[in-house]
Amino acid sequence: MKYILRKVIEWGNPVRLFLNLWQHRYLIDQMIRRDLGQRYKGSYLGFLWSIINPILLLLIYTFIFSVVFKARWRPTDENMPLGEFAITLFAGLIPFNLFSEVVNRAPTMVTGNVNYVKKVVFPLEVLVVVGVGTALLTSMINIGIVLIASLIFLKVIPPTIVFLPLAYIPLVLLNLGLGWFLASLGVYIRDIGQVVSVLTQVLFFMTPIFYPASSVPEKLRFILVLNPLSIIIGDFRDVLLWGNLFPIKEWIFWILLLGILTILGYVWFMATKKGFADVI
């Protein structure tokens, strides 16, 4: 019992967590590179598809929502620039797609790498970090596309863009915490992947991506407050499009809360990973 308690305290130390990942930084870097390379292995354009796909998607959104539906993010704005709704929508999809990619991959991150499980010395915890890192790089490409589109359609890139790395921190913490939990559960409960897929689809419509938070009835807005993705997406849009700095106190609160989730997810993963080889 004392041994277990000592190990939990050791794993729950955020400094030890950081140092452990830092120790394996070169391994993480190489695995992210390999992960990105495998996505487009055998294709003629290779990594260029990660740029072409979001550009085509943004053009489609612009045509459908701005030209066909003439949708307005702010209904009172009669002189809304062409493409503003599509850009706002796309900016909301960036953090959600990062979240969705990680949590949907997480249940198979360990079971899909059986060779690593059999190697006693391999740090399995880095698999989740690699998944987050890969999704993070993809999202940064999309950020660049949004900035170019904002310059073309909205004629401005807000100076608050320098605070975008701060908006990423809660999202990364959320993905790491849930990623470690789900990666471990995926070993012991194989159906967890199907459950996560359904819940992700539900969460997609429960998050203000296609609609502004102000359009939700006031009696139901507490749901958005309880949903960290609502806050994260709002922060992304503030610094990326609207030129506003997100509320610092609220940001600090979510950093602390999601930081605890990250530590708990890491402790859970480290405590359960010894049994992976027996199950797989």
pLDDT single digits (tens) 118-160: 776 889 999 999 999 999 999 999 999 999 999 988 888 999 9
pLDDT average, residue stretch 173-197: 95
Cα distances (angstroms) measured from residue 135 to each of 7, 8, 105: 31, 29, 10
Question: pLDDT: is 274 or 195 the higher one?
Answer: 195
* Residues written for the chain: 280
In a domain, residue 280? The reply is: no
In the predicted structure, residue 233 carries a pLDDT above the cut 70: yes
pLDDT at 222 (0 to 100): 84
**Straight-line distance from the first to the last Cα atom of the chain, in angstroms, rounded to the nearest whole number:** 27
pLDDT at 259 (0 to 100): 96
pLDDT at 1 (0 to 100): 56
d(CA 171, CA 141): 16
Question: pLDDT: is 195 or 217 the higher one?
Answer: 195
pLDDT at 143 (0 to 100): 95
Give the percent of the chain with pLDDT over 70: 92
Count of structural domains within the chain: 1
The residue segments making up the domain with residue 141 are 2-275
- The three-state secondary structure class of 123 is coil
pLDDT at 250 (0 to 100): 93
pLDDT average, residue stretch 266-280: 90
pLDDT at 172 (0 to 100): 98
Cα distances (angstroms) measured from residue 107 to each of 39, 81, 182, 195, 217: 19, 42, 5, 10, 35
pTM: 0.92
In a domain, residue 255? The reply is: yes
Q: What would the pLDDT profile of 8-21 be if each residue is shown by its tens digit?
A: 667 888 899 999 99
Q: What would the pLDDT profile of 239-249 be if each residue is shown by its tens digit?
A: 999 999 999 99
At 256, which amino acid appears? Answer: L
In a domain, residue 204? The reply is: yes
pLDDT at 79 (0 to 100): 64
pLDDT at 2 (0 to 100): 58
In a domain, residue 184? The reply is: yes
* Mean pLDDT for the chain overall: 89
pLDDT at 181 (0 to 100): 97
In the predicted structure, residue 102 carries a pLDDT above the cut 70: yes
Q: What would the pLDDT profile of 31-82 be if each residue is shown by its tens digit?
A: 999 998 888 776 776 778 888 888 888 888 888 887 787 777 776 655 667 7
Could you tell me if 103 and 2 are in contact, meaning their C-beta atoms sit under 8 angstroms apart? no
